[in-house]
Amino acid sequence: MNFLQTVLAFVVCLGSLIVFHELGHYLVARWCGVKVLRFSVGMGKIVWSRRFGPDQTEWAVSALPLGGYVKMLDAREGDLAHLPPEELKREFTRQNVWKRIAIVGAGPLANFLIAIVLFAGLYMHGVEEPVSRVSVRASEVVELSAGAVSPTASPTASSSAPSTPIATPAWRAGLRSGDLVTAINDQPVSVWSELRWNLMQSAIDKKEARLTVERPGQGRMHVVLAAEVLAALDLDGDIVGKLGLGVARPAPVVQQVIAGGPAERAGLRKDDLLLAVDGTPVEDGIAFIDLIRASAGKTVSVAVRRDGQPVTLAMTPQAEQAKSGKGTVTVGKIGASIALQPDMITVPSSPPAALGKALARVWDTCTMTLKMIGKMIVGEVSLKNVTGPITIADYAGQTARMGVASYLSFIAFISISLGVMNLLPIPVLDGGHLLYYSLEVLTGRPVPERFNEIAQRVGIGLLMTLMLLAVFNDVARLL
């Protein structure tokens, strides 16, 4: 069932964005008076088609679903001498350069407009999200060779031991669990996604992040994550997690105990506050679950507080098989549910405010995407970040299962990515054609046909290389 949902979510996401992208080309081409011969969703062999409209445009679905195209009347694709003069006036290359720029640029622009509409709608409706309250890991174990210094440690920290506990960057900066972040670099923050986004931007820009926080019982204060700390982070994966930050969750209180399970047999009760497992303190439900999962078949001592009194229980988690990214693993389960839901907030915006936030979000996503591409080119970010259709399908399925808001937000993000990628100055992409037409504006004459042919071959080779890399990364993640 999950597989079918993933496939359907992927097809709806990519298919709709391809249609909107190509509609951008089609509508502006018609507006500029250019005759459109075919509108295809997909590439390669046509599997279905119908002709509609005054020009009898062929609307088609092709075999390869990764892309689409709009075919216009074009002298570069055949001899048009047999056509009457009124038809030749509608040929693409006979249009002035500004019309050609408008037609080519309309596809990526359509992607950006769809993202703006989706984000604005989500902001107006209001999306339930965790508040920007953090949990902070005090330390983490870092593997160090003799005399090596961790990039996240203080300048004097070193060790000759195989592994050493190192204070996390967030802890060293002064952040503590329970802090509510209200602003980053003077930008207001109210939900977790805004906190994460602003910290990612600071890490990519290698600039310090000045956090305004409210600490229970101590009021407002300021915490600074230094530029050198953020610059030292590996930008692959969860940047916020590498700082030692996570979403603050409620105290680990037992919400339900399943009859006949290990928890009930051990004497655990509803409303018990979990304190420690074998002497290891538990800060929230996630920490408790991790300790229990790692203790399959072992008897552990669970310290709880019940009606204000400490109680110690001997409990043996039942061993069960569970799927993980590395295959099937054995985990411990006790048959109890623990409070996990963080504090949530829904903040609807007025239409003007929602539109402004949507425009800012699309702009920030575009600039961040371009910065990441630049860092990949110069080697500052691993090429493992290049993802393909398998990863996109996986995330499409995950977000669809999370809810409509998450899925629409994912579609908006993919739409922005498609728009940015299509604007890259690579021959065969829209950005490559825009580069040619920009040169034509500057020089007053079109790019030589021979140069165009060579560039097209290079562009196809580059795109094929990128696709192979993306698929390789996808498969590597699965394995």
Strands 219-225 and 209-215: antiparallel
Phi–psi pair at 7, nearest 5 degrees:
-60, -45
* Buried b / exposed e along 14-39 (16+ C-beta atoms within 10 A): beebbebbbbbbbebbbebebbbebb
Sign, CA dihedral 183-188-192-193, equals negative
User: Phi then psi for 10, rounded to 5 degrees?
Assistant: -65, -45
Q: Do 434 and 101 touch, CB atoms closer than 8 A?
A: yes
Residues whose CB falls within 8 Å of the CB of residue 414, separated by 6 or more in sequence, listed in order: 13, 14, 17, 392
User: Helix, strand, coil: what percent of the chain each, to 5?
Assistant: 45, 25, 30
For 204, half-sphere exposure in the C-beta direction (CA atoms, 13 angstrom radius) is 22
User: Residue 44, Cβ neighbours under 10 Å: how many?
Assistant: 12
Determine whether 214 is an active site residue: no
Distance CA 107, CA 19 (A): 10
- Report d(CA 263, CA 314) in Å as an integer: 9
d(CA 99, CA 91): 12
* Separation CA 39–CA 70 (nearest Å): 5
**What letter represents residue 375's amino acid?**
K
Residues 6 or more apart in contact with residue 4 via CB below 8 angstroms: none
d(CA 439, CA 101) in angstroms, rounded, equals 11
Spatial distance between the Cα atoms of 193 and 122, rounded to a whole number of angstroms: 14
CA 379, distance to chain mean position in Å, is 21
> Looking at residue 35, what DSSP letter applies?
P
> Is the separation of the CB atoms in 72 and 94 below 8 Å?
no
What's the gap between Cα 71 and its chain centre?
A: 32
CA gap 264, 259 in Å, rounded: 6
Among 76, 77, 74, 49, smallest CA distance to 61 is for: 49
User: Which one of 22, 129, 194, 283 is the catalytic residue?
Assistant: 22
Neighbouring CB atoms inside 10 A of 448's CB total 9
Catalytic residues: 22
